[in-house]
Chains A and B, each alone.
Chain A
Amino acid sequence: MHSLRRLNVYYWRYKHLFIPGLLCAVASAVFSITVPMVVRQAIDSIPRFVTTYRAFEGTPLESYVYADAFASLATFGAIILVLSLGSGLFSFLMRQTVVVASRHIEFDLRNRLYHQLQTLSHDFYLQHATGDLITRATSDIEHVRRYIGPAIMYTTRAVVVIIIALSVMFWISPKLTWFTLIPMPFLAISVFFVARMVHNRSDELQAQYSDLTSRVQEALSGIRVLKAYAREESEAEAFDGESSEYRYRSLRLAMVEAAWRPVFVTLVGASTVIVVWVGGSLAMTGEITIGNIAEYIIYVALMTWPVAAMGFVITMVQRAAASMTRLNEILDARPSIDPSPEKGTLQLDSTAVEGRITFKGVGFVHPNSGVRALNDVSVDVPAGTTLAIVGRTGSGKTTMVEMIPRLLDVDEGVLEIDGRDIREWPLESIRSAIGYVPQDVFLFSDTVANNISFGRMEAVTEDVHAAASEADLLENIEQFREGFETLVGERGITLSGGQKQRASIARALIRKPQILILDDALSAVDVNTERTILGHLREHFGKRTVVIVSHRISAVQDADQIIVLNEGGIIERGTHDQLVEQHGFYASLHHKQQLEQEVEAFE
């Protein structure tokens, strides 16, 4: 229950809705609980009218008595109607305030959650499956909302109804009331046990729902692979397994819920029968009237829903608490990359970044796998120069470049930007100075233009065109039927790999960044296109720091310095010419690529 405390601030924020709303709940309850009293009066008056009427039967007063009875009974009817109109009006207002407020809080909470998700670093996303995060942002928030709105509304109303009904009942006949209440402890006990079972079992069900969602999500994202390997049937069977587990857990929950209602209805029904039984005996001795029996029957009926609601409310609260715990897990997560400067207080905007990058004895171990990715890496990249990184698969190239925009933080050593520890810079200024083209292209399901201008919001059409042209994508886009307004499929799948990669490059270039990072970003484009793009980039040499990771000599040979990584450490460094002289890894790489060409040329 502790987890729900976080919500208090929201109650306070919407107090202008909650306070009148709960007052309306009270008013509505008071109106509806008054109805049975009027009914009792009406019923008790009937024998009196009958007696009076019989007494005056045949006399001239007969029609007068009849009219009086008619009017009195009509008045009772009218009062009941007015009471229920009042109850209805306030119940309308109650829903329009409390439930509406719960939707407002849901809105705030979800915004807050999404905002938090945006601040969390990469490692958080490694630990949480996408489907799971989405479940939290949708159904967990919905559970919490039900607690905020309906649960509180029902509780207020139930408490008022029960208190008033019991007071009146005790006032009429304590004995009858005690008897009527005999089934209530059983009701309370069964509510408690049922609610707990429902809670546990629905948790299990919820967990399975998450698994099911994740399964679908993954299978559909990898549909190409599934299809290519004709694994659809086995995947469908695996999905059957998940569905069947879901069915099993649903039925476990259904068992409890199915028992709950009959038990409840029977116990309430027992109350009614007891009223007739005990009330009947009492009426025979004249202790109460028959009208009282009718009144009690209505009270029991009126109390039915509030007591039932209490059962549901307990479940709602428990569910909400569990969901809130899951939400708090996200809300309390600290980004492992601290966005605000630790030491010193640099308050610089992006233009202040000049672009010098210095790795000083940097080491890094992957937190999840424990694999050491970098070991004592030192390199200085003066502003405006180009660094190229080559090396085998898994040698740590990507890890190294991911440190520059602080997707990862160094474990050992220091990474400096313009001679200052990167952790002293505000994260925002560092990132806004960087144009990053990741290895895996990710485009949003939006238009080509919006995907490119994603890099710079205030970009105008000319900027988008310029960036597209610099990334050698303009010609392709102009061939699309809708040009820049062409929609890209969810993962940009209607574009070819090379087109996606170039869109991703354009997105980085439109930022006119101080530091440009290309992580194997030209792998899917052909040599011709690569040359064009590199040619465009050269125009910015001296003004922009470029870090380029590639396997192709052609892409790295013009760099001011080239480093060769192997198992997380630098094994060679220098310019292309120097490295070729060194007869090491780079030279052999170069030699091999050159030799292949020569051999073929001589054929």
Chain B
Amino acid sequence: MSDQKKQNAGLDTRLLRRIVSYLMPYKGWVLLAFTTVMTAAYLGPLIPKLVQITIDQEIVEGDLEGLQRMIMILFAILAAEGLLSFVNAYLTQWIGQQAIFDLRTKVYRHVQRRSLRFFDTRPIGQLITRVTSDVESLSQVLSAGVVTILGDLFKLIFIAWFMFSLDWQLALVTISVMPIMIYATFWFKRKVRDAYRDTRKQVARLNSFLQEHVTGMRIVQLFGREAEELRRFDGINDDHRQAHLKTIFYFALFWPMVDIVATIALGLVLWYGGISAMAGGVTIGVLIAFIQYARQFFEPIRNLSDQFNTLQSAMAGAERIFGLLDTDMAITEVETPAAWAEVKGHIEFRNVWFSYDPETDPEEDEADWILRDVSFVVKPGESLAIVGATGAGKTTIINLLLRFYEIQKGSILVDGIDITKLPLETLRDNIGLVLQDVFLFSGTVRDNVTLRNPSINEADIRLAADAINATPFIERLPEGYDQDVRERGMTLSHGQRQLISFLRALVYDPRILVLDEATSSVDTETEEVIQQALETLMSGRTSIAIAHRLSTVQHADQILVMHRGVVRERGSHQELIASDGLYRRLYELQYKEQEAA
């Protein structure tokens, strides 16, 4: 128990220190905020002290002039405190927002640059939560948090100092309830921390579910699963509610408890103070000052525990954010990248082994290999076609060439340079990719073609559009290139989206062109147009194409026949037909079908 407590506490300070480190760039401003908060912390407790003087020296003595003088001083102090609090409150927010901005953009960049392996296994909703609400939960700590906590601590010290200077015995009596207060606060802290962790987990679950079901709503509706999905949602929603109900319970218990302890202190002040008054040690003014201090004293404590609450939720959020930042599954970029002086487009796979499970032991034969010992060479300007059954590993080859995943064994070379020695951006800049899952972003057709790259001009786009004969379809759209495609291009047909993704690849004018089953869902007419465009495009470029239809691969300089992750056959179309193997079987199958018609 105590061990675990220690561990928790240790974790807290480490986390906290790390959160606070985001304030370092603004330390000058933080210092200013401290100064203002300290001054305000002194002025607040000064007022009851002055009230005491007013009562004992002016009111009891009946000095009306003195009373008015004291009142003016009190007003001046109030105004000063107000002004300082404003400056402090805005300043801390300003600092916090700067730090949050830094953190948010850092987390986003971190998430974005991770390898696809990471995205394969995590619901996007969860990642969105990290970048948005988890970061948001830190904003309180980063803005008000640290400064306010110190401000409150000093307020406590100043109040204690004033109390002891007025009457140390009465001060001791007032403070005697402190242990109860501290115990209650710590009990609360522990309980709420666990409860918050659970709450946040439930919020994330709720988000993931909604995200997925809103995106896939038509599937839910088509398959008449509304009732069942509502039942599942009900369950998740209920867990979410239960988690919150638990926190309500602790809050409901904590707030009255703080109040009761504060009132006990008040009762003690009246009792002990009254008795001391009889002995002549305590004046009425001192008693009234203590009544105010007894209340004031608990306000910072209450605030501190309040800060604890935000700190709790922030800690839970921070743990998750730092957990994300610490496990860097991004493709590591080499520190001194190799020079790639002239991009020719020579591609070589040398004994490549790959599994989607990064833990796979290269020595183990039984492992879940997607690619086994794959080797091939594509010379500059040549074209390679990869054929094979689905699941043979064709798409994987493309993913590996773009370095979306790291291989376990072997090497991939571009112009003789290992791709791990090249900056990722340079590598991918020179490879144009057309995916089978066309993904469009919300925005105009133009935005989707250029991906908002300002260096691509209008003429390039039109030229490329003409080349693949996409111009007629785009011009048919009411707003042409400025047509908003809406989220994920839902207003466009699949073929139209495909054409846009073709355009995208063409305007980027890469040295290496990669096509992943892209032509398969464009109809034959369009495909023919594209085929021609690709032929012109491919001349002088290295290309790798995956297509199921043999007709699209027959023009390739080299064909790779994949089967269960292994290269079974390779060669030109004629050579492969002559060799009477897997390729020939695939080929005859299609041929016979055509003949039977």
Contact = CB atoms under 8 A, between A and B. Distances in A.
A243 B120 contact: no
Contacts of A489: 119-121
Given A439-B521, A444-B216, A218 B487 contact: yes
B223 A493 contact: no
- B120, B143, B257, B494: which has the most chain A beta carbons within 10 Å? B494
A247 B98 contact: yes
The number of chain A residues touching the other chain, given as a range, is 35 or more
Nearest to B437: A497
Nearest to B132: A213
B226 A393 contact: no
Given A126-B486, A496-B395, A589-B524, A103 B244 contact: yes
Main secondary structure of the interface of B (DSSP, over half): helix
Contacts, number: 514
B220 A118 contact: yes
A528 B494 contact: no
A592 B71 contact: no
Interface in B189-232: 203, 206-208, 210-226, 228-230
B288 A294 contact: yes
3 closest A-B pairs by beta carbon, nearest first, are: A393-B495, A498-B390, A88-B256
Contacts of A88: 256-257, 259-260
A234 B404 contact: no
**Interface range, B side:** 35 or more
A407 B218 contact: yes
Interface stretch (B6-14, B318-326, B546-554): B546-554
Contacts of A138: 203, 206-207, 210
A554 interface: yes
A290 B270 contact: no
* Residue of A114, A133, A209 contacting most chain B CB atoms (<10 Å): A114
Chain B CB count within 10 A is highest, among A73, A107, A284, A490, for A490
Interface in B402-449: 402, 404, 424-425, 428-429, 431, 433, 435-437, 439-442
Contact of B74 (A46, A273, A454, A594): A273
Interface string A91-103: 1101110011001
Contacts of B549: 527, 552
Interface stretch (B17-25, B88-96, B151-159, B377-385): B88-96
B187 interface: no
Given A111-B230, A281-B67, A393-B526, A258 B222 contact: no
A545 interface: no
Which applies to chain A's interface (DSSP): helix, strand, loop or mixed?
helix
A369 B483 contact: yes
A493 B124 CA distance: 12
A524 B517 contact: yes
Nearest to B274: A73
Contacts of A444: 212, 216, 219
A50 interface: yes
A168 interface: no
B120 A445 contact: no
Interface string A307-319: 0000000000000
B93 A250 contact: yes
A597 B442 contact: no
Contacts of B275: 69-70, 73
A460 interface: no
A436 B222 contact: yes
Interface stretch (A196-204, A351-359, A414-422, A427-435): A427-435
B404 A227 contact: yes
Contacts of B74: 273, 276
Nearest to A235: B112
21 contacts: A69-B274, A81-B267, A91-B256, A125-B490, A213-B128, A219-B112, A223-B112, A251-B97, A277-B67, A277-B68, A293-B59, A298-B295, A301-B292, A370-B478, A436-B223, A440-B437, A442-B219, A496-B390, A589-B523, A589-B525, A594-B594
A338 B120 CA distance: 38
A81 B264 contact: yes
Contact of A398 (B287, B356, B494, B548): B494
Given A273-B78, A553-B594, A87 B217 contact: no
A129 B100 CA distance: 25
Nearest to A525: B390
B85 interface: yes
A485 to B, nearest CB: 15
Interface in A45-89: 45-47, 49-50, 53, 66, 69-70, 73-74, 76-78, 80-81, 83-85, 87-89
Contacts of A244: 101
B593 interface: yes
B478 A99 contact: no
A392 B292 contact: no
A397 to B, nearest CB: 8
B224 A133 contact: no
Contacts of B431: 228
Given A134-B207, A526-B586, 19 more contacts: A46-B273, A84-B263, A88-B257, A92-B252, A95-B251, A137-B206, A219-B441, A223-B116, A230-B429, A263-B86, A266-B82, A277-B68, A284-B64, A394-B493, A405-B222, A442-B219, A490-B119, A490-B123, A494-B121
Contacts of B524: 551, 589, 592-593
